Amino acid sequence: MGNTFIIGMDMSFLDEIETFGGKYEEDGQEGDALRIMKNNGVNAIRLRIWNEPEGGFCNLERTLLMAKRIKELDMHFLLDFHYSDKWADPANQWKPKAWADSSFEVLNDQVFNYTYFVLSELKGQGTVPDMVQIGNEITPGMLWDDGKVDGEFDTEEQWAKFATLVKSGIVAAKAVDPTIHIMIHIDRGGDLEASRRFFEKFAEHGVEYDTIGLSFYPWWHGSLDDLSRNLSELAGQFDKDINVVETAYPWTLDAAEGRSFIVEREEQLHPGYPATVQGQADYLLDLMTIIKKAAGPRGVGFYWWEPAWIPSREEWSVGHRNNWSNLTLFDYDGRKLPALTALK
């Protein structure tokens, strides 16, 4: 992206939403959600990819289709490898079923081969990602237990194995296209101590990457002041680009009957930012300012997580109801909210 600040959106659920009838509106007119995003200043889209998800979305076949749409709009494309058949996050870093019984040596080869194959398929249709994540929120490692590094697994031997797996993904990505940028993504946006220790470990083990990715949700990761301090310190110590690659904030706490949210109580909110359409817009604008000021030229942007996940279905391919629809940038009926307009 050069000197362009990344204004990004994780739109991984969009394919499923559209398949089952979800619609989006801007100024009273129905439109394509990706086009609406671009109209409002968004310049980058993030997609997750699962190996063999049971629900049939976020796999390679569907990713190829979505990648074409992203590139047709000339938007920056970030692909997020989970290396799992389902969610990978600090509580879940489970191997794909097809890799479950592999030895470490075979597993390492599978990481390389899978990464290489996916990116080769994308390159073959002219949609190679501009950036890839080797793992998603990998603070406790990935591909458990071989690459696990938390709790009793927090040993030098395990960190070496974890780093080896990550390096295999990086080498594969660079083998497909050496211009692909590499992001390493953890979840500790407001936790300086944990963030510093993680990236110091990767430095010790010679993991080469371009961008630090952080998740920052105030109800889990602290205050904007915590984020600011973390961004400033990490930028100074590691001399890497930094992207707040996951964030969100509620526009309401009012749920329809039978609906529950991850963020549903006043005490989960950040002081100074009520759960209103204006509070959400203020949070977003202040977040952008903090990234630019705290990390300086190394603060390269952010991604809002699932801004289009409207409640257009009762049950989703991931096996649960939508608990995110008050953290979107569209209302329950798919109408654009003021925070999205504020990006311009």
Are the C-beta atoms of residues 312 and 87 closer than 8 Å to each other? no
- 3-class SS string, 265-316: CHHHCCCCCCCCHHHHHHHHHHHHHHHHHHHHHHEEEEEEECCCCCCCCCCC
Angle of the 224-238 helix axis to the 192-204 helix axis, nearest 10: 20
CA distances from 248 to 216, 279, 306 (A): 8, 12, 8
Task: For the chain, give the longest Cα–Cα distance.
Answer: 58
Instruction: Write out the two tokens for 155.
Output: 């040993």
Active-site annotation holds for 246: yes
Catalytic residue among 121, 137, 152, 208: 137
Residue that is written with structure tokens 């990648």 in the block: 67
Active-site annotation holds for 137: yes
Residue type, 77: F
Are the C-beta atoms of residues 136 and 80 closer than 8 Å to each other? yes
Beta strands per DSSP E along the chain = 6-10, 25-26, 29-30, 44-49, 76-81, 131-134, 141-142, 147-148, 181-186, 211-215, 241-247, 299-305
Calpha distance 260→253 (Å, rounded)? 10
Catalytic residue among 18, 52, 156, 246: 246
Instruction: Write out the two tokens for 237.
Output: 């110590």
Are the C-beta atoms of residues 75 and 44 closer than 8 Å to each other? yes
* Residues whose CB falls within 8 Å of the CB of residue 85, separated by 6 or more in sequence, listed in order: 50, 51, 52, 53, 54, 94, 96, 97
* Residues whose CB falls within 8 Å of the CB of residue 96, separated by 6 or more in sequence, listed in order: 50, 51, 52, 83, 84, 85
Active site residues: 137, 246
